[in-house]
Amino acid sequence: MFGVEHSGGVHWALSILTVIAYATLPLGSANFEQELVPTLVVGLVYALLAIIGFRYVQRRGRAFAVAYVCVQVPLGFVVFALSGAAIGAVLLLVVLVSQSVLLLPLPAAAVVAAIIPLIHIEMELPAGLREGLGTLAVTTFTLVVTELLVREQRARAELAAANEQLRGYAAQAEQLATTQERNRLARDIHDGLGHHLTVVQMVLQAARAVIPTAGPDKLDAMLAKAQDQSKEALAEIRRSVAALREPRCAPLVDEVRALARAASEAGVPTELEILGESRVVRADVEESLFRAAQEGLTNVRKHAEATVATVVLDYGSADLVRLEVRDDGHGLPASPSPDAGFGLVGLRERVTGLGGQVSVDSVAGRGLTLTIEVPG
């Protein structure tokens, strides 16, 4: 009602209490005379309004609620007078207090609870005061208990709504996590598997080119290199499918040095420079720097047509690690964006997620420099 749905249990409880109160009306009171037939008739009207009319009013606006209470209060007073101050009449008015809490703002319901004890105003002063105070205590207690019940129901409704909202957020978070994991796996497959397959392709291409002139030993060495890279590619596939983010066992410097050595063996002499004193950084930072070096050297071999490359790991800043991959190739074409291709896009996603930045500097015919800066 008015933003709060009250349970059917409350309605049934008030309806049962109304029926019980009506059934006790004929008992009257030992101190006052009762008009039985008018009591039962007027009491029946009151009870029907309390059971049926209350449910109808709950679905209407505030004006209907006020009108309902304004009708029931004097009607209850009439029932009390006709019944000879029967306890059942008092119970009917107590039900009205509970209904007022459900229908009206709390201050208005408190006014109703304060008015009802006036049913004893025609009694002699000592008895009327005593009965009035007793009725006031009952109506006040009813007011407080009903308000607590309303608040408890409202809290339950708000908790249910919050739980539903949390379930929605959890579903969104799960979907986002799934998307992020897919992107991560895609980057790992591209950066890891793509790197090793590029080396295999270039080694096999070189082997085919020297078949007419090379001896068996040289060809065997080149094929062994291709086989090693194939094993590395298979290991990358297994790691990506398993979706493990375990820290690398070897230090970053050693792994980048291995990348430079593999690039040199594949035909592009590559030098590694370490600036500052190397230090241990977070596993996700090391992973991103390793992938950046891997992607940069893969692009050098695939696209740059370079004769030499340089990888720089700079630990000179206390809170930043910088990686550079430079080559003396033909650089990027004039038209494509530096972000063209999945590799650099995935690399930017990795680095940006760590609060770092990626820059690509290229001069046509004079090479390209890929720079990664990551907090660490």
Indicate whether 337 pLDDT > 90.
no
**Mean pLDDT of the residues in the chain:** 83
> Sign of dihedral through CA atoms 87, 88, 94, 96?
negative
What domains can be seen in the chain, in order of their start residue? 8-166 (no CATH), 249-376 (3.30.565.10)
Calculate mean pLDDT across residues 276-281. Answer: 88
Q: Which range among 93-102, 227-236, 258-267 has the greatest average pLDDT? A: 93-102
Indicate whether 338 pLDDT > 50.
no
pTM of the model: 0.48
Q: What is the pLDDT of residue 339?
A: 46
Selected residue with higher pLDDT from 261 and 188: 261
By the 8 A CB rule, do 27 and 88 touch? yes
Calculate mean pLDDT across residues 355-360. Answer: 90
Q: What is the pLDDT of residue 310?
A: 94
Q: What is the pLDDT of residues 7-65, one digit of tens each?
A: 567 888 899 999 999 999 998 877 788 899 999 999 999 999 999 999 889 888 889 99
Calculate mean pLDDT across residues 173-179. Answer: 72
In one letter, which amino acid is 204? L
Q: What is the pLDDT of residue 303?
A: 74
d(Cα 28, Cα 227) in Å, to the nearest integer?
105
Q: How confident is the model at residue 189 (pLDDT cuts 50, 70, 90)?
A: low
By the 8 A CB rule, do 351 and 376 touch? no
Gyration radius of the chain over CA positions:
43
Q: What is the pLDDT of residue 5?
A: 47
Q: 361 - beta bridge partners?
A: 369
The structure tokens 């590694």 sit at 272
Q: How confident is the model at residue 2 (pLDDT cuts 50, 70, 90)?
A: very low
d(Cα 336, Cα 328) in Å, to the nearest integer?
19
Q: Say if strands 309-314 and 367-375 run parallel, antiparallel, or are unpaired.
A: unpaired
Indicate whether 1 pLDDT > 70.
no
Q: What is the pLDDT of residues 108-139, one digit of tens each?
A: 999 999 999 999 888 888 888 888 899 999 99
Q: How confident is the model at residue 347 (pLDDT cuts 50, 70, 90)?
A: confident
